[in-house]
Structure 1
Amino acid sequence: MKNVVDNRSGVSSTAECAGSGKGLRHFGFSILFHLNCSGANRIYSPIEDMCIEVMTTTKPWPKADSTCKIRGGRLIVADSERKFNFIKTTLQESAVWRTTNYWIGLSDEPVANGIFIWSDGTRASYTNWIPGEGKSATEFCVEMVRSRDYQWNDNPCWAPLRFICEYT
C-alpha cells in the first residue's frame, strides 16, 4: 500500500501502486524499473511520477543533501508550479509535517551569488521567493517557509531544518 495523490483533486489517499514502470530497452529486451515508495514518510505523485520523503529530523543543508543522496535520491527539486503545489499540499495535509520549514534542493553556494542551482544540477527557472528574498550575499541555501505559505527564503546553510528528499 502506498500514499498517492489524485491527479484531479490533489487529495492524498492510500492505494496499491508500483510507480511508472520506467524501463530500459537493450538488445530487444525490456527491463522495467518500479519506483519504490514504501516507507512511513514517503508519498507517491502520479502527476510527477516521483516519490517524496518528508524527513522529520533536522540537518544543515549540506548534510540534508548528502542524506538524500545516500538514500538514493536528492533534495527535492521544485522546478515547476505544479510540483511546488504538490509538495505544499502534501505538507499542509499532515498535522505533523505542516508545523515547520523545510530545506529544498536549491542553492547558490557552489556558484556565483544569485545564480541558484537545483540539486539535480539544473539552473532554477521557476522560483517562488518571498518578496525581497533570494538576494542575500550571506545566505546560500533555500527553505520553504511554513508561515509564508511555503514560499522560499534563502537561509544560512548551517541552519538545522527538516528536509524533503525526492526519488525518481
Structure 2
Amino acid sequence: MHLKLELIVLPVSDIDRAKAFYEALGFRLDLDKAVSDDWRAVHLTPPGSEASIIFGTGLTSAAPGSVQGLYLVVADIEEARAELTGRGIEVSEVFHDTGGLFHHGHHAGEVTHHVEGQHRVDGPHPERASYGSYATFSDPDGNGWVLQEVTQRAPGR
C-alpha cells in the first residue's frame, strides 16, 4: 500500500494576508473558493512539490500559528535563503547541528534555546552534508517552516 502525503491544513487568522504571504514565497495558487461566509478554502502548492497546503474558513479549529516543523527541502540552502529574503520573507541565518540530530524548535527571529543533544551552530554544515543545513521562517501567524538542504537522498527516499 502507498500512502502519499498530499495536503496539510494550516490554521491562519487572516486568509488574504496568508494567501499573499505564500504567493510571495512562490507557492502556486491552485484554488481560492468561497461557498459561503462560513467556508472558504485557499489551496497552494510549493514549487516542485507534490504536497500542498490549504487554509481558510471552516477548515480547522486549531489555533492560528500552531503548526510547526513543516519542512521544505532545497538543493542549495544559501541560494534558497537568498531568494526568499529577496522576496521580502524574514528567514533565519543558515545553521547546522553538530549533534547530528533532527532539527526542531527554532523559528525566524526566535532566541535559540537549548534542546538536549542538539548543538546549533551558525553557517551551513562544514562539509555541506546532505540533510545537514537549515534555515527557518514563519508565516504571519507563526506557523513554522524549516528549509533543509538535501543534496543526496538517503537510500529508499
TM-score (norm. length: structure 1): 0.28
Give the structure with the higher percent strand: 1
